Structure formats: structure tokens, C-alpha cells
């Protein structure tokens, strides 16, 4: 063996001995990353007519709820110590009470946390019975029949006014501004149409206005000439129709074709720009009411966001937006997304939404609801002419604007504060 080989073997043996004598240290365990808080996904449902003759209104409402969900997610809300992601599911009730109850059961089975809907009173009332049995809150941004909140259900709310507020408001306009002495009334036999027509009739009779006729049709009818011919024979100053724009537009057009010259008036179901498309030139000049403030009085934040994403507001989208916000505010207040825990505090929420301050009374009705009277202009668009609150009418331009959202209020205060240069100029003038 050569000397170099002997040396290599000796070094290897030494290293082997050293290796046996030193216990190999295990690498220090890395610090465990903090566990991310488990997030919650909460489903809020919208339900309304997404097909059929008033789908344009149902889609408007759906967009309002979707925008509220988006804005809530942007704020990265935490409830019960967990980050919450809200999502919306939407169901088509076709403005049909029977379909509405089927939809309601489907949403209950899907275990949604709350329902923002429906559009029609005649659909919302039976559907709310199903939600009540399941302990799920329902809040409508358009159902105005008083019965909705007069049954003692603790899960039912609305962000608009009632027909026993809206009916007297449009009736007072008929008797006062339109100087109606002889009025004919039509309704479509639905909970909404009949309900508001009854309120208008009751108020006009109390004001000693002569009701010269009361006719009935349906929400599916397209030919109104038989009842209009009867009304023509009574020669009324004003004709009031309780129904939706899908029937109100053709009815008005056929009335003009028959030579009826009376002014026509409608409730919120037909208080839309859609009327000018359905009735054409015959629509000009009609009067109507909505059970809330006009869309142009909604908060700037809402209007800008809505128009950028969906286009023009058709009617009650701001009220459905606030309905979804009311549900989320209740969850935050209860610190729970469990309907059994947040539904009982719905009556106590108070916040500034797209339509001003939102609060509910013990029945679930919105406190201090305003009504708006509109007239149809030559441009085919309805324009607000007065706001009615507590039975007092104020011209629209003179009515106080709804309270701005806190962030907006701060902006307005900052905007109103005079600049330094302006202060100096004012001091020089003094």
C-alpha cells in the first residue's frame, strides 16, 4: 500500500469516529403560520318578477340588491369574529302568487339568511307566511298593501310607505290640484290594485268628491274598451286606475282612442317612464304617485354606482338596496348571521341608506315614509312635482333633501367651508 493511500484511510477513519461521537441535530422546526380566520359566506336572496310584463321593474329591484351586496363586500365586514362574504341568489316569481309561494319554499330549503322581495303585494303577502314559519326575515322595497305588516308577523318589513298613506296622497292631488269633482275608479283585482283603489275611493268620498263609477279588470287583461265605454258615459273629470304599468299603459291609450278626455291618475304600479312606451302620446299629462322619494332624490353615491353599472334607475331599486343593507345592519348589530338572532333586532336598526334615514316601527313599516306625486311630461318621462309627508304636501324643489350618508355629509360640510381666499375677501368687504 502506498503511503498516500494509508493517509487517506486514516483520515476517513478519523472522520467516521468523529461522526459516531456527535449526535446529529435535527433542524429547528419552523414557526407555524398563524391560521387564517375562517370566513363565512352568507346568502341573501332577491325574489321578484324577472320575466313577464313587469320584468323591467323586477330587474331594477334585483340590481339594487346586487349593488348592496357588492358595496357590503367592498367594506370587508366582520361578524362574530369572522370575515363575511355576502352572495345573492335571485328567483323569478313571475308576479304570480302561486309561483311566489313555490319560490319562497325553494329559498327556505336553500337556507338563505334573508329575502329582499317580493315586488307585488299580492305575491309578498302569501310568501311571507312561508318565510315566517321558517324564521327567515323578508323585506320588500315596493309592496305597499297595509295587510303585509298588519298580521303581527315579526319577520316582515318594508322600506317604502303603505297604500293607506299613498292612496290619500294621490287622492288629495286629484281633489286639489286636478280639481276632480267626478271621479271614476278602476282596479285590477290584485291585492295591490284593489287595495290602493279602495284607499283612493275612501279619501275622495271623505272629501265629498262624487265617485261616478267603479270598474274592475284583471292584471292579465289587454282589451279595456268595454269598461272604458261605461266610464265614458259617466263623463268623469278624472279616472284613477289601481294596477301596474303593463295594463295602465294600454288602458290609457284605448281611453284616448274612445275619446275620453278625463285626466288619468295612477298609483306607483304605473308610475314609470314605461307608460310613455305603452301609451304613446296619450301618456302625456297623467298624474301618479310613488310610495317613497323619487329616484333623483337617492344618494349621489347610489345613483353614481347604479348608473355606472346598470343604467337608469327605473323605480324602486334604491329601496331594495336599502332593504339589503337593513338585513346586513341587523346582522352586524346582533353580531350573528343566524336569522334567529338578527331578525329580532331588525326593528332597532337605524342607518342612512340610499333613500335617507332607514328605521322601522313595531309592525315592520318604515318610519316617516314620504310619498311623491309625479306628472308625465312631453319628453316621455315622469317628473316629481310634490312630496307628501305626514299628510303635508311640499313642492318637490322646496322639499328638504333626505339626510346624506355620513361620508357624504362630511364631504358636503367640507365643500361648504369657505376657502381661505374667500375668507380674506369677505373680511376686506367688511
CA distance 377 to 72: 37
User: Is the overall model pTM greater than 0.85, yes or no?
Assistant: no
Q: Which of 321, 320, 340 is nearest to 330 (CA)?
A: 340
Residue 73 phi/psi, 5° resolution? Answer: -65, -35
Residue 350 phi/psi, 5° resolution? Answer: -150, 115
Residue 156 phi/psi, 5° resolution? Answer: -115, 130
| pLDDT score of 361 | 97
CA distance 299 to 411: 13
| Cell numbers representing residue 219 in the block | 292584471
CA distance 359 to 347: 7
Task: Going from the first residue of the chain to its last (430 residues), give the mean pLDDT of each consecutive group of 10, the final group possibly shorter.
Answer: 43 41 47 60 98 97 98 97 97 98 98 98 98 98 97 97 96 96 97 96 97 97 97 97 97 98 97 96 97 95 98 97 98 98 97 97 96 96 93 77 44 42 42
CA distance 213 to 1: 131
Cα separations in angstroms, 330 against 33, 240, 270, 322: 34, 39, 32, 12
Burial class (CB in 10 A: 0-12, 13-18, 19+), 179: exposed
User: At 238, which helix (H) or strand (E)?
Assistant: strand 238-242
| pLDDT score of 31 | 52
| pLDDT score of 124 | 98
Domain 164-290+373-395, classified CATH 3.20.20.70, yes or no = no
Cα separations in angstroms, 280 against 175, 242, 249, 374, 423: 26, 20, 8, 17, 54
- Alpha-carbon dihedral sign for residues 55, 61, 63, 66: negative
Q: Which residues pair with 158 in a beta bridge?
A: 140
Query: 165 CB contacts (<8 Å, ≥6 apart)?
Result: 291, 369, 371, 388
**Where does CATH 3.40.50.2300 sit in the chain?**
40-160+295-368, 164-290+373-395
Q: Which of 27, 119, 84, 37 is nearest to 327 (CA)?
A: 84
| pLDDT score of 38 | 65
| Angle separating helix axes 406-416 and 300-310, nearest 10 degrees | 110
| pLDDT score of 28 | 52
Cα separations in angstroms, 217 against 89, 193, 248, 427: 34, 10, 11, 69
Helix (H, G, I), strand (E, B) or coil at 256: helix
What CATH class does 40-160+295-368 carry?
Answer: alpha beta
Amino acid at each position: 500500500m502506498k503511503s498516500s493511500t494509508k493517509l487517506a484511510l486514516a483520515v476517513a477513519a478519523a472522520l467516521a469516529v468523529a461522526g459516531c461521537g456527535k449526535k446529529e441535530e435535527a433542524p429547528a422546526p419552523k414557526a407555524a403560520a398563524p391560521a387564517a380566520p375562517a370566513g363565512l359566506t352568507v346568502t341573501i336572496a332577491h325574489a321578484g318578477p324577472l320575466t313577464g310584463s313587469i320584468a323591467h321593474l323586477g330587474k331594477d329591484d334585483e340590481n339594487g340588491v346586487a349593488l348592496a351586496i357588492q358595496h357590503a363586500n367592498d367594506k370587508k365586514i366582520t361578524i362574530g369574529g369572522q370575515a363575511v362574504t355576502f352572495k345573492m341568489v335571485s328567483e323569478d316569481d313571475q308576479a304570480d302568487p302561486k309561483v311566489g309561494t313555490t319560490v319562497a319554499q325553494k329559498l327556505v330549503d336553500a337556507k338563505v339568511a334573508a329575502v329582499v322581495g317580493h315586488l307585488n303585494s299580492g305575491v309578498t303577502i302569501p310568501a311571507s307566511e312561508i318565510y315566517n314559519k321558517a324564521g327567515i326575515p323578508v323585506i320588500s322595497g315596493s309592496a305597499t298593501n297595509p295587510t303585509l305588516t298588519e298580521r303581527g308577523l315579526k319577520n316582515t318589513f318594508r322600506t317604502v310607505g303603505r297604500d293607506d298613506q299613498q292612496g290619500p296622497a294621490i287622492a288629495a292631488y286629484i281633489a286639489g290640484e286636478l280639481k276632480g269633482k267626478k271621479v271614476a275608479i278602476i282596479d285590477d283585482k290584485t291585492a295591490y290594485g284593489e287595495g290602493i283603489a279602495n284607499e283612493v275611493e275612501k279619501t275622495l268620498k271623505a272629501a265629498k268628491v262624487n265617485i261616478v263609477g267603479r270598474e274592475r279588470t284583471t292584471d292579465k287583461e289587454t282589451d279595456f274598451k268595454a269598461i272604458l265605454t261605461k266610464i265614458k258615459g259617466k263623463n268623469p273629470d278624472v279616472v284613477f286606475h289601481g294596477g301596474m304599468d303593463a295594463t295602465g299603459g294600454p288602458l290609457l291609450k284605448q281611453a284616448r282612442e274612445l275619446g275620453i278626455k278625463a285626466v288619468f291618475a295612477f298609483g306607483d304600479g304605473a308610475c314609470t317612464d314605461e307608460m310613455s312606451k305603452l301609451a304613446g302620446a296619450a301618456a302625456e299629462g297623467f298624474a301618479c304617485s310613488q310610495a317613497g322619494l323619487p329616484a333623483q332624490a337617492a344618494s349621489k353615491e347610489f345613483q353614481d354606482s347604479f348608473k355606472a353599472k346598470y343604467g337608469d334607475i327605473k323605480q324602486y331599486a334604491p329601496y331594495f338596496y336599502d332593504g339589503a343593507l337593513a338585513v346586513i345592519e341587523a346582522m352586524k348589530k346582533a353580531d350573528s348571521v343566524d336569522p334567529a338572532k338578527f331578525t329580532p333586532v331588525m326593528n332597532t336598526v337605524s342607518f342612512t341608506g340610499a333613500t335617507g334615514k332607514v328605521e322601522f316601527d313595531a309592525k315592520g313599516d318604515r318610519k316617516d315614509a314620504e310619498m311623491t306625486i309625479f306628472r308625465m311630461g312631453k319628453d316621455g318621462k315622469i317628473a316629481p312635482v310634490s312630496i307628501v309627508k305626514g299628510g303635508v304636501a311640499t313642492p318637490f324643489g322646496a322639499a328638504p333633501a333626505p339626510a346624506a350618508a355620513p361620508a357624504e355629509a362630511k364631504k358636503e360640510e367640507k365643500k361648504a367651508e369657505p376657502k381661505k381666499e374667500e375668507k380674506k375677501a369677505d373680511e376686506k368687504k367688511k
